[in-house]
Each structure stands twice: as structure tokens, then as C-alpha cells.
Structure 1
Amino acid sequence: MSSHVQDLRASLAPLKWSNRFAGLGPDFYTELEPTPLPAPYWVSRNTSLAHELGLDAKWFESPDALSVFTGNTVIEGSQPLASVYSGHQFGQWAGQLGDGRAILLGEIETPGGPQEIQLKGAGMTPYSRMGDGRAVLRSSIREYLCSEAMHGLGIPTTRALCVTGSDARVRREEIETAAVVTRTAPSFIRFGHFEHFSYSEQHDQLKVLADFVIDNFYPDCRAAAKPYAALLQAVSERTAHMVAAWQAVGFCHGVMNTDNMSILGLTIDYGPFQFLDAFDPGHVCNHSDTQGRYAYNKQPNIAYWNLFCLGQALLPLMDDQAEALAALESYKTVFPDALESRMRAKLGLPDRQPGDTALIEDTFKLLAANKVDYTIFWHRLGGFDTAPGREAVRDLFLDRAAYDAWALQYSERTAPVDKGQRADLMHKNNARYVFRNHLGEQAIRAAKLNDFSTVDTLLAVLQSPFEDHRGCEAYAGFPPDWASSIEISCSS
């Protein structure tokens, strides 16, 4: 062992590596080391997440940490690997896929429980499918900021620890520079992992994987009469809550393939995502999605379709198809209930009353008809009790008569609700800041000029999106005219 690696081991002495996924065996992955990048540099470090993980603050600022999180040094205790999985992409069976540009370093013990550490963009793997295994600065900044924005909004997600860059050239639509984003999650297992072993008729491995997930992440399912059906039901319900959270904040994932669906109900793989500007239920954020399969208003049904695929993959472990269908059934009640609960909170309604579903539906219809900015509407609605605040909401609508009719309906519903309670509820559920596409574009343009200050500022703002941030008011404003011309594709 080199003295360099010994020094790193000493720096990380408090961390314990467990690497449970590696214990599944070679059928599940290929062991390989990341491919180094020349002359790496820091783009941004998420010090709050580093603290949560128990990383030494001084070490996290060091050249050693830069080398580790770029993939230039393999730290002792880790077991770098790329996992294999399969999946349905845009509704079609794509066959074997796998970690084409992600390398799992391993799993560490943290104060919040075990967390896997993964490098995205760390070089080719056996699953790269003719790709270079690299990520570019543009996509790495987008994933880094959006995953932390989602966490700030209280939405289940993978996290992002840091971004490192290099002047190494990478070809996409044009020549760009390379970057690596370090992601963390309790597990990166996807629906596609189960599909891989089911479709290849490796049913022993399928059972090993399902047992691993149950024992480590869904232990209550072990005591069920039918543990694999219980697992499917639990995943369905977690996914329902996640997608309800997406719909409530106006988040479009953009590429909900089964290989991009987390078995833990986490938002994963930030590519052609977008937070809605003007409210358009049929908005398609992914320029590659020419059929509009993953439009905003289709996401709930696509999630169920993906869960159905997971259920098919688990069938070899069940008695019959009816068992799987019964396990999926709860999605149909959990999702609408979860969405309605979130929308009532956004409206400042602490309890359910008859007519709330109609009020929520009328709100969506009004916003869509007037193409109202989704985030700004909900934030301004928090001031509805004052005359200036109510007028500020009204100013968002072209059809004033339709708005006035809705406002009367809303006033009647909220009249018996304590104003302080309603204001507190709305403040906690209507963000002032979301990670809009044009904000990402501004950060990327600055970063390409070696100015990473906008990335760091946005990170701080998005980690507490419900609060006011002095000097950052522009980040909460309307998008500029040029924002509508931004095109985000699967390569993003």
C-alpha cells in the first residue's frame, strides 16, 4: 500500500466501509477502478451534506479529497464497481443496460445510517454501450444543484456531495469539458436491476436481490405472509408519495424509464428535468421525448406502468399474477390521497372538507387556462389575506373574471381557518425558490468561464427554498424571455 493511500486512510479513520452491495457477488456487478482525469479542480462542495455524512471538514477541502472524488485515487476500504441492470426505455424493452458512467465506490457508515458513495462520470465501464463513460460540466452542475434543491423541498432524492472538473475534452453535441458529480443514497438499486435477472431467467439471483432489499430497506416485509408481494406494495406506495411530491411542486423528471426508477422511492438520474414555469399540464421537458410520453401530466400513470413492470419482474417469486396486481392496487389510492394532501397544504387548508377536491381541480384548470407561473402563484397566494397581496395574485391572470370567481370560492373555503395556522402551513409548503432551467443555464455559463460562485450561491439558496435570501431575489423572479428557448435532452 502506497504512503499516499495510507495518508488517505488516516484522514478517513472515523469512517467505516461496509459495502453490502458488493457482497451480493459478481453476477451483480463488475469490479473496476475509475479512470483518472488530468488536473482536476473543485467546482463546488456541499459542506452541509459532508457534515451529515461525518466527513472531516479539513479533509474535505484537501487535495486528497479532490483526488478521491474525481476518481484519481482509490481509497482503501472502498470496493469500486459498476452494477448491471436492464430496463424499459420510452416504453420499449431495451435489454441489458447498467452503470455506463457511474462507479460505486462503496458504502460508508454515517450518523444517519449507511450511505453509498457513487461517482458519476468516472470513465468507461463494461455497460457503457459505446459511450465514453464521462459526464460533462453542464450535466454535472444540473444534477448537483437539482438533487439538493429537491432535498430542500422535502422530496425523496439521491443527494450530491460535490462536483469536480477537468479541462479534459468530452464530445457531446459539441466539445465540452469533463466533470464528476459524487452522489450519495442508501442504495442505487433500480427497478431495472430486478428486470435484468427476471428477463434473463436468473431467478436465484432475483431472489437474492429481493431478499437483500427486504432485509436491508424493507424489514417489515419479511414478516408478511407473502414478503415479495409486500415488497412490491411498499415500493408502490413510496413511489406514489414521491410522484405526488413531484406534481405538487411542478417537477418534470423527463425520462422515467424503468432503469431510472429507484427501488427506495427516491428521485434519481437528473437529466432532462425541469420545474414548470408557466403552468402547462401537457408540458414535455425532454427535447428527446418526441412522443410526449413523459409529459408532466402523464408522470403519475407512467409511474404505475413502471411499477407494473417491476411486478412482472418479481412474478417468479410470487404465486401468480393476481398476487402482483393486488400489491400494485394501493398505488391507485395512495397517489391521489398524497397529492390532495399536498395541494391542501399549499392552499393553507389544515383539514379535509367536502369540496376540496373540486377546489384543487378548479385551481389547476385556472392556472392552465391562464398559463400562470406555477411557483410564483403559490408563493404569492401566501399573502392572499391582505388587499395588496390579493391584488398581487390577481395580477398574474389575464382572465380576471375567472380569477375573481375562483378567489370568491377560495375565500369562502378559508374563512373558518385560523389565519396564523394557514399562513404557517403555506409558508412551509410553497417554495420561494425552485431550480428553474434558466438558473441552471446562468450557473453553467459562469462555470464555463471558471466562475463557480453562482453554483455555490444557488446551492445555498436551494437548500432552504422556503426562506427569503437577501440579495437573491432575482432567483425567485419570472424567467427571462430566453428561458423558453432552452432545450434539454437525454444527453443533458
Structure 2
Amino acid sequence: MNRPLDEMAAGLDLGLNWHNRFAALGDAFSTRLQPTPLPSPHWVGTSPAVADLLGLDRQWLASPAALDAFTGNLAIAGTQPLASVYSGHQFGHWAGQLGDGRAILLGEVDTASGPQEVQLKGAGLTPYSRMGDGRAVLRSSIREFLCSEAMHALGIPTSRALCVTGSPGPVRREEIETAAVVTRVAPSFIRFGHFEHFSHHGLHDELRVLADFVIVRYYPACRDATGNPYAALLEAVSARTAEMVAQWQAVGFCHGVMNTDNMSILGLTIDYGPFQFLDAFNPGHICNHSDTGGRYAYNRQPNIAYWNLFALGQALLPLMDDQQQALDALEPYKALMPAALQRRMNAKLGLAQVQAGDAELTESLMKLLAADAVDFTIFWRRLSRAVGGAIEPVRDLFLQREAFDAWALRWHERLHAQPGFDADATQAQMLRTNPHVVLRNHLGEVAIQRARQGDFSEVARLQNALEHPFEEVAGQDDLAAFPPEWARQIEISCSS
């Protein structure tokens, strides 16, 4: 549906100040179209915190009008809905043209935290759907909704989720399922793949327009950087990506499908599909059943992020003086990512400053965790309470207890050697760093199965706990317990 750039969509007035800056880039970047309605929509979950972020009234968010608007059944005044085009590498292979195959960008809203784009995922066919149906299913939509808000509460850069709506409309995956729409929010949904698209097709003018747009909007310091501004952009994106991946590793988060079209130019975690938080610690854990080669295993994520950044660098080469500029811009990642991860691990260990020997202390611990398949989240939470000497609950997690005892002695010596060490303050800091609750696969699965029966209470209960992951709340002990045996049988794939 093509319309003039200055035309405001007729429809429901949400009282928001909409902008359509991405739409203004031109037809080469996107296709205008309206969402495809779904029958008999119903609420699955809402995030009052994201409503506050956007400036929406919390009570209105529960209204029938909001339900229709965020299902895609009712046009929103001021928006110019579109699907953007991009390309990318999937599982290491060039996949050609991709694009928003089931996501429609409504526009951009001014907020106290800066402009935020609002996107409907699962809103119907677009020109980039390829062989897909443009829809999202209930199970994957619940997972994305919950994990977006969980990651935000953990302090990890991420897209957000305003709400999930469901519909009895049928969607075929491995079996017939029901449809849902997630309303996603982020400062930008621009991906590495957007740049790859224009570079691969020799559209260098459009590539420059896109790069300039990103620099002006999100990386203004790159305009005045010494040397090439696009090399400066690549270096800045690399730094943000390094910090994000370090946070993933520290909390035991596996993304599952780190294709270049799923990598945010802002260093945000986006496109929650076959993700998983580790249960038993296994460095080579593969959370995506579709990842038969283990490309996106947990311990490969830092190197895959670099591989993706290298692909971004290749895409930006037409805007640089030579290849060496791109290589020089990427080089800092090799030191930034390990340093960022070590800082995170030191915080988890209660160590205020990184010192010589801390990397070895961490590495020896991770080997012990892997050897005994220790539950990752429970270990760190119990360790937080062991600062004052209550080490037995931690020791009980290990089979190799003598090896753990030797490590624990070194850890205590390192802790107490810190200037002005205070056990109570250190324990409090560790409890604010090592979460009590994360979105384990089995917790999501329980919420999904109840939602399929029309009971969304577990979605709300789990959402409430995940929004406060460091708090221990009465009645939520089951959410922080060891996973049941059946959790090992859960398979999450790219269709999830």
C-alpha cells in the first residue's frame, strides 16, 4: 500500500507523537502495507512498564481498542506501517534477500528515554515473507514476550515487548497451532543484514544513506571521529556487541540463531526464537534443535559475534578507503569482549577489581561446573550467600568436592584480600548480580501449555517474577528450583 510520506494514516488516535523516519528513507528500504487482521483476538499478556515507556495509559492498554490496534485489526493514526528489506548470512551461508517477513513497523514514538520504534510481529504476509505465512504462533510469541522483559530486568540490552495478543486463527508449523502478535519496541530494528543487502547488490548510494542515517541518529560521535566515519561506526557497533555478548555469557544465555539478519546495529538482543538459559552448565550446549552443526553453541557465541561483525565490515567496505580500515575497526573486539566478560564474572564472584590471576580463577571454576554439570543459575545464587562462610549448600552441588574445596579456598583468599572487604556488602552486591529466577525452558513451557487452554495466569505470574529476577518472593520458590527431569526433553527450533 503506497502512500505519500506526509500522509497520516487514518485510524485510532493513541495520543502519541509518531514519526516515520525510517519510512522517509525511501522505497528502496521498505514496502508500505497494512497489517492483516486476525479473527477474534484476545489478550495473552501486557507489560505496564513498556506502556509507561511509550506514554500509554496502563488502563487503556487493557481496552478492546488497544486489543484491536496491537493485533493489527485497527489502523493507528499517525503511523505509516511498513516492512523493511534486508539480506544476511544464515548459519554461515549467504541467504540472499530476506526482510521483515512477518513483522510490520508502525513507526517511531517520542519518549522520555528517546525515540522508540513500535513493531507488530506476526502481523501477516509482506513482500519479504518468501515461503512463510507472515504469522507468529502463540508459543513463540509468549517466549519472546517473557524473555524480552526478563532480559531488560537483568540489565541486558534488548528489544522490549509491550503486549501479546492471541487469536484462534490457525497457523501451520509442525502441526496446526494458533496465531499471536507480539508488539515489540526498540530504538531501532536495523540489523547487520540491512547493510549487507545494499552492499551485496551494489547499491552503494543507498548503503551510504543507511549508514549516515544510523550515524546521525544513534552514533553521532562517529561523524567527528578521526579518519573514516564508517570505520568509526563499525568500531562502535563492535564495542556494543562485545558488551552485549559478554552479558549473555555471564548469565548463561544462549541466543540460538545468531544469523547476521538477527544482529542489531545497536547491540541489542533481538529476535527471540530458540533461545535458552542454561540449566546444567555445558559450555558446548546447543539450544536450537535446528542447529545440527552446533554453530551457535553457548561457547561459540563470542566468536560468532565477531564473524558477524566481520560480515558487517565487508558490507561497509564500499564506504571505506581500504580493507585495512575495516580490519582495524574490528580489532578492538578481540580484547573488549574478554575484558567485558571478565568484569562480569568478577562481579558474579564478588570481586570489585580485575587483577592478575582472576581469569584463571574463573576458568578453573567453569571447568568444575562443566565437569559436574552443575546448575548454572543455582550455583551462582548459592555462591552469593557463601561469602560469609556458608559454603556447604554450594559444595553439595559438586561431585568432585575436593576439587571444589580447593577452588573455594582460593576464592575466599581472593575475596578477603580486597581492601576494605565487607562480607555483608559483598553478599548484597552478589545477590544483585546473580539472579534468583531466569526464564528456564520448562517454566516457559508450563506457561505455554496453560495458555493453550485459555489460562494466561501462569504467563502473568512468570512475567511478574522475571521483572524482579534478583528478588526472592514468597510463593515463587518453584520458579527458582532445579528443572524437572522432563525439561531435558524440550526441543526448541527455528520454528519456535
Q: TM-score range by the shorter chain?
A: over 0.9
Q: Give the equivalent residue in structure 2 for 1:267.
A: 269
| CA–CA distance in structure 2, aligned partners of residues 252 and 383 of structure 1 | 26
Q: What's the secondary structure of 2:428's corresponding residue?
A: helix
Q: Give the equivalent residue in structure 2 for 1:305.
A: 307
Q: Does 1:467 align with 2:468?
A: no
**Structure 1 regions of 5+ residues with no counterpart?**
none
| CA–CA distance in structure 1, aligned partners of residues 356 and 283 of structure 2 | 25
Q: Give the equivalent residue in structure 1 for 2:142.
A: 141
Q: Give the equivalent residue in structure 2 for 1:488.
A: 492
* 1:179-198 equivalences in 2 (<5 Å): 179-198=180-199
| CA–CA distance in structure 1, aligned partners of residues 73 and 100 of structure 2 | 19
Q: What's the secondary structure of 1:127's corresponding residue?
A: coil
- The match for 1:446 among 447, 450, 462 is 450
| CA–CA distance in structure 2, aligned partners of residues 229 and 170 of structure 1 | 44
Letter in 1 for 2:237: V
Letter in 1 for 2:209: V
Q: CA deviation at 1:283?
A: 0.4
For residues 293-345 of structure 1, the C-alpha deviation after alignment (integer angstroms, 9 at most, x for no partner) is 00000000000000000000000000000000000011011101100000000
**Structure 2 regions of 5+ residues with no counterpart?**
1-8
| CA–CA distance in structure 2, aligned partners of residues 169 and 269 of structure 1 | 22
Letter in 2 for 1:83: S
Give the conservation status (yes or no) of the 8 Å contact 2:12–2:74: no
Q: Give the equivalent residue in structure 2 for 1:170.
A: 171
Q: Give the equivalent residue in structure 2 for 1:98.
A: 99
| CA–CA distance in structure 2, aligned partners of residues 396 and 333 of structure 1 | 33
* 1:69-84 equivalences in 2 (<5 Å): 69-84=70-85
| CA–CA distance in structure 2, aligned partners of residues 158 and 6 of structure 1 | 27
Q: CA deviation at 1:7?
A: 7.7
Q: CA deviation at 1:166?
A: 0.4
Normalised TM-score (structure 2): 0.96
Q: Give the equivalent residue in structure 1 for 2:440.
A: 436
Aligned sequence identity (%): 68
Q: Does 1:29 align with 2:33?
A: no
Give the conservation status (yes or no) of the 8 Å contact 2:387–2:427: no
| CA–CA distance in structure 2, aligned partners of residues 460 and 438 of structure 1 | 17
Letter in 1 for 2:459: V
- The match for 2:379 among 377, 380, 383 is 377
Q: Give the equivalent residue in structure 2 for 1:362.
A: 364
Q: Does 1:210 align with 2:211?
A: yes
Q: Give the equivalent residue in structure 1 for 2:116.
A: 115
Letter in 2 for 1:248: A
| CA–CA distance in structure 1, aligned partners of residues 154 and 147 of structure 2 | 10
| CA–CA distance in structure 2, aligned partners of residues 8 and 287 of structure 1 | 41
Give the conservation status (yes or no) of the 8 Å contact 2:387–2:426: no
Q: Does 1:319 align with 2:327?
A: no
Q: Give the equivalent residue in structure 1 for 2:257.
A: 255
Q: What's the secondary structure of 2:12's corresponding residue?
A: helix
- The match for 1:455 among 453, 459, 462 is 459
For residues 383-413 of structure 1, the C-alpha deviation after alignment (integer angstroms, 9 at most, x for no partner) is 11345x3100000001111111111111111
- The match for 2:233 among 231, 234, 249 is 231
Q: CA deviation at 1:475?
A: 0.2
Q: CA deviation at 1:418?
A: 2.0
Q: What's the secondary structure of 2:107's corresponding residue?
A: strand
| CA–CA distance in structure 2, aligned partners of residues 166 and 18 of structure 1 | 29
Q: Give the equivalent residue in structure 2 for 1:19.
A: 20
Q: CA deviation at 1:110?
A: 1.2
| CA–CA distance in structure 2, aligned partners of residues 340 and 304 of structure 1 | 18
The total of aligned residue pairs comes to 484
Q: CA deviation at 1:351?
A: 1.3
| CA–CA distance in structure 2, aligned partners of residues 104 and 430 of structure 1 | 35
Q: Give the equivalent residue in structure 2 for 1:332.
A: 334
For residues 189-227 of structure 1, the C-alpha deviation after alignment (integer angstroms, 9 at most, x for no partner) is 000000000000000000000000000000000101311
| CA–CA distance in structure 1, aligned partners of residues 184 and 300 of structure 2 | 28
Q: Give the equivalent residue in structure 1 for 2:288.
A: 286
Q: Larger deviation: 231-240 or 404-413? A: 404-413
Letter in 1 for 2:74: T
| CA–CA distance in structure 2, aligned partners of residues 229 and 351 of structure 1 | 32
For residues 65-113 of structure 1, the C-alpha deviation after alignment (integer angstroms, 9 at most, x for no partner) is 1001000011110010000000000000000000000000111111211
Give the conservation status (yes or no) of the 8 Å contact 1:105–1:117: yes
The 3 A distance-change label for structure 1 pair 7 and 230 is: closer
Q: CA deviation at 1:59?
A: 2.1
4+ residue runs over 6 A deviation: none
| CA–CA distance in structure 1, aligned partners of residues 267 and 395 of structure 2 | 37
| CA–CA distance in structure 2, aligned partners of residues 405 and 468 of structure 1 | 30
| CA–CA distance in structure 2, aligned partners of residues 65 and 489 of structure 1 | 31
Q: CA deviation at 1:6?
A: 7.3
| CA–CA distance in structure 2, aligned partners of residues 386 and 332 of structure 1 | 36
Letter in 2 for 1:370: D
Q: What's the secondary structure of 2:164's corresponding residue?
A: strand
Give the conservation status (yes or no) of the 8 Å contact 1:30–1:83: yes
| CA–CA distance in structure 2, aligned partners of residues 385 and 342 of structure 1 | 18
Q: Give the equivalent residue in structure 2 for 1:402.
A: 403
Letter in 2 for 1:421: A
Q: CA deviation at 1:458?
A: 0.9
| CA–CA distance in structure 2, aligned partners of residues 162 and 359 of structure 1 | 42
Q: Larger deviation: 419-428 or 244-253? A: 419-428
For residues 338-386 of structure 1, the C-alpha deviation after alignment (integer angstroms, 9 at most, x for no partner) is 0000000000001122211110111111101110000000000011134
| CA–CA distance in structure 2, aligned partners of residues 238 and 363 of structure 1 | 27
Q: CA deviation at 1:468?
A: 1.1
Q: What's the secondary structure of 2:31's corresponding residue?
A: strand
Give the conservation status (yes or no) of the 8 Å contact 1:350–1:425: no
Normalised TM-score (structure 1): 0.97
| CA–CA distance in structure 2, aligned partners of residues 441 and 112 of structure 1 | 33
Letter in 1 for 2:302: P
| CA–CA distance in structure 2, aligned partners of residues 184 and 6 of structure 1 | 22
Letter in 2 for 1:308: F
Letter in 1 for 2:458: T
| CA–CA distance in structure 1, aligned partners of residues 351 and 429 of structure 2 | 8
| CA–CA distance in structure 2, aligned partners of residues 57 and 273 of structure 1 | 29
Letter in 2 for 1:219: P
Q: Larger deviation: 409-418 or 196-205? A: 409-418
Q: What's the secondary structure of 1:94's corresponding residue?
A: strand
Q: Give the equivalent residue in structure 1 for 2:12.
A: 8
